[in-house]
């Protein structure tokens, strides 16, 4: 809901920073655990924690989309150039899409392989029949999508810093709206 407000609501701001921190942590942990040799027992101690936090993140991202739909959203500054508005909106759309696809691909990889997925010890119901081909497709997706998400996060951060520090005379600072 675009509105004349000049700041995101407190709940949107909390969800933004909480999800950002968890995603960056999950990418680091995922990269670390996937690189451990299969015979290293730590690898399989980290998996359930990664899965549990990943499922929590999926729930938080769905909550964030619902909250966003019903919250007043500040409009982009009118001083932004046309290409900047298009780039900003496309990046935001892709960030939301990837934030959903990354945990869903992780979940499907385990579910298609017939591995139980637990959320901090509580079994999460499976939805799909066992199928190793599909599990491998989900594994390939989950091996790439988190790094595309990371690239988008870098672009997103660079954009907000450009408006804060390089274009500071143009009244296009958007970082203050989410702090």
Q: What distance in Å separates the CA atoms of residue 176 and residue 67, rounded to the nearest whole number?
A: 20
Question: 56 near 11, Cβ under 8 Å?
Answer: no
The CA angle 94-99-101, to the nearest 5 degrees, is 90
Q: Applying CB under 6 A, which of residues 51, 64, 152, 153 lies at the interface with ligand HEM?
A: 51
The distance in angstroms from the start CA to the end CA of the chain is 19
Both tokens of 81, joined, read 């150039």
By C-beta, is 67 or 100 nearer to ligand HEM?
A: 100
Q: Applying CB under 6 A, which of residues 107, 152, 163, 172 lies at the interface with ligand HEM?
A: 107
Question: 113 near 135, Cβ under 8 Å?
Answer: yes
Q: Applying CB under 6 A, does 31 fall inside the site for ligand HEM?
A: yes
Q: Applying CB under 6 A, does 26 fall inside the site for ligand HEM?
A: yes
| Phi, psi (degrees; rounded to nearest 5) at 136 | -70, -35
Taking alpha carbons only, the member of 12, 103, 8 closest to residue 51 is 103
Could you tell me the smallest distance in angstroms from the CB atom of residue 13 to ligand HEM? 20
Could you tell me the smallest distance in angstroms from the CB atom of residue 110 to ligand HEM? 5
Q: Applying CB under 6 A, does 23 fall inside the site for ligand HEM?
A: yes
Q: Applying CB under 6 A, does 138 fall inside the site for ligand HEM?
A: no
Q: Applying CB under 6 A, does 141 fall inside the site for ligand HEM?
A: no
Q: Applying CB under 6 A, does 172 fall inside the site for ligand HEM?
A: no
By C-beta, is 80 or 153 nearer to ligand HEM?
A: 153
Taking alpha carbons only, the member of 27, 29, 156 closest to residue 102 is 27
Binding site for ligand HEM (CB under 6 A): 23, 26-27, 30-31, 34, 47, 50-51, 54-55, 57, 102-103, 106-107, 110, 117, 142-143, 146
């Amino acid at each position: 809901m675009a509105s004349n407000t000049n700041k995101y609501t407190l709940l949107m701001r909390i969800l933004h920073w909480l999800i950002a921190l968890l995603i960056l942590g999950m990418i680091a942990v995922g990269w670390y655990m996937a690189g451990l040799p299969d015979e290293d027992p730590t690898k399989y101690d980290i998996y359930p924690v990664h899965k549990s936090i990943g499922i929590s993140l999926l729930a938080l991202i769905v909550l964030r989309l619902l909250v966003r739909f019903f919250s007043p959203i500040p409009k982009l500054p009118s001083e932004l150039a046309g290409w900047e508005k298009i780039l900003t909106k496309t990046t935001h759309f892709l960030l939301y899409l990837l934030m959903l696809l990354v945990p869903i691909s992780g979940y499907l990889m385990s579910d298609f392989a017939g591995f139980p997925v637990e959320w901090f010890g509580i079994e999460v119901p499976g939805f799909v029949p066992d199928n190793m081909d599909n599990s491998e497709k989900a594994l390939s997706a989950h091996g790439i999508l988190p790094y595309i998400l990371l690239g988008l996060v870098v672009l997103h951060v660079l954009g907000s810093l450009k408006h804060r520090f390089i274009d500071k005379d143009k009244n296009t600072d958007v970082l203050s709206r989410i702090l």
